[in-house]
Chains A and B, each alone.
Chain A
Amino acid sequence: MSKDGGSGQGTIRFKEELAHGGNAGLGSTAVVWLEKIKKKYGDALSYADLYTLGGVVAIKELGGPTIGWSSGRVDALDASAVTPDGRLPNADSGEAGSDPSDAAHLRTIFNRMGFNDQEIVALSGAHALGRCHTTASGYDGPWTPTPTMFNNLYFSLLNTASWTKREWKGPYQYEDGGKTLMMLPTDLVLIQDSKFKKYVNIYAKNSGKFFKDFAKAFQKLEELGTVGLVATEWA
């Protein structure tokens, strides 16, 4: 795999990138929803700005922090800018921790983007939102009982719930004692690796600290590979 790369040019709108395994389902959902707004505002609004603004607006609307956002991203004109598949972190390589490279894998993916352990854990807190679908990723279930609320419950549950392997024909995942919630092996590794767990503990106890660190890390994520952005008031 190439050691360089980068996106942020709205390339996920191209079918070549939507075909990546990690993007399953997005082509018929989020991309379609935002296309209506794109048409309303025309060429003055880039896809890349629209998608990134969509992320920060969604987090705020779901109860999360107000994240700083900058405008000025320039769209790629065609699919030649689409990066190869395989750059998203794998959700599992079997039982969490069974492969010693699990934590290393997470670090490899995120370190190359410039994120440290604390930022990796903070960004993982986005799993407070949403759920997995067997029709998309193959996994099944929500991480928390409040999948449309941005909070630090993901970290609390990692620490307090009893996670066991789910016995089913689907991919390797964990379920809680009530069999209503799930965790991926890459979630569980956050409490198995002592350096990651340090931050899980902090965020489980301190929601404000999580919000602050998440906002900073998410803004950093949204500005990777960009130049000349202008801080823009959006809220």
Chain B
Amino acid sequence: MMLTKVLSCLVLLSGQSAYAFAPSRTTTAKTTTAGSALYSTTKSNDENGVDGRRAFLSTSTVACLACLFKPTMVNANGDVDYKAVAADIADIIKKNPDKGPTLVRLVSTDHVFYVSRFVYDIDSRRIYNTQYNPYLMSFTLVDRHGIVLVHMTK
């Protein structure tokens, strides 16, 4: 994966170098590398000239180098591609179905520690669910429809 990224960047940089020292013209450069899009538009004219293009080269070089160290499967807006994560997990199970039940057990035991408290009305009907999480130092009051009424953090 890293090798692919390095090669992609080298191709990109060589193209940009050629552009930076080419005759002036209006150019749009767009590259996509492993889910991360770099999109730059530079209008080269007499005002910017070669200096402007070299500035573009510097900027895009930094961007290319940065993408080498950027997590592979993160979108441009910083969100994780959860479908890709799910596919990777599914691959583990497809290769060995016996691992599936263990993954279910992992998450079941990880979340079985939570404690909720209920608030009842005078007829003993549950009307609110209070949730206190000491680690987040938060308190949440949820009505019986699951709507968060109050959420407080320290």
Binding between chains A and B: yes
| Residue positions of A touching B, CB distance < 8 A | 2-12, 20, 22-23, 25-26, 29-31, 33-34, 37, 40-45, 48-55, 57-62, 71, 74, 76, 80-81, 83, 87-89, 109, 112-114, 123, 126, 129-131, 147-148, 221-222, 224-225, 227, 232-235
Pairs A–B under 8 Å by Cβ, sample size 7:
A5-B113, A7-B113, A9-B135, A62-B97, A62-B100, A89-B112, A234-B83
Contact A4 B74 (CB under 8 A): no
A194 to chain B, nearest CB (A): 21
Interface positions, chain B 58-111, Cβ under 8 Å from A, are 71-74, 78-80, 82-83, 85-86, 88-90, 92-94, 97-111
**A227–B98 alpha-carbon span in the complex (Å):** 33
Does B140 count as interface, using CB distance less than 8 angstroms? yes
- Evaluate contact between B112 and A147: CB separation under 8 angstroms: no
Tell me whether B89 and A126 are in contact (CB under 8 A): no
- The residue in chain B whose Cβ has the minimal distance to the Cβ of A149 is B97
Main secondary structure of the interface of B (DSSP, over half): mixed
- CB contact under 8 A between A8 and B103, given known A53-B89, A57-B90, A225-B133: no
B76 to chain A, nearest CB (A): 12
Q: Which of A48, A130, A233 contacts B105 (CB 8 A)?
A: A130
Measured CB to CB, the closest approach of chain A to B90, in angstroms, equals 5
Number of A-B contacts (CB under 8 A): 193
Give the residue of B74, B85, B129 whose beta carbon is less than 8 angstroms from that of A37.
B85
CB < 8 Å neighbour of B133 from A6, A11, A23: A6
Find out whether the CB atom of B80 lies under 8 angstroms from the CB atom of A12: no
- From residue B151, how far is it (CB to closest CB) to chain A in Å? 6
Residue contact A114 to B111, C-beta cutoff 8 Å: no
Contact B113 A6 (CB under 8 A): yes
Complex formed: what's the CA distance from A29 to B100 in Å?
A: 11
Kindly state whether residue B8 has any CB partner on chain A within 8 Å: no
Whether B118 and A55, one on each chain, are in contact in the complex, defined by CB atoms closer than 8 angstroms, is no
Residues of A within 8 A of B134 (CB): 4-6
Q: Decide if B83 touches A33 in the complex (CB within 8 Å).
A: no
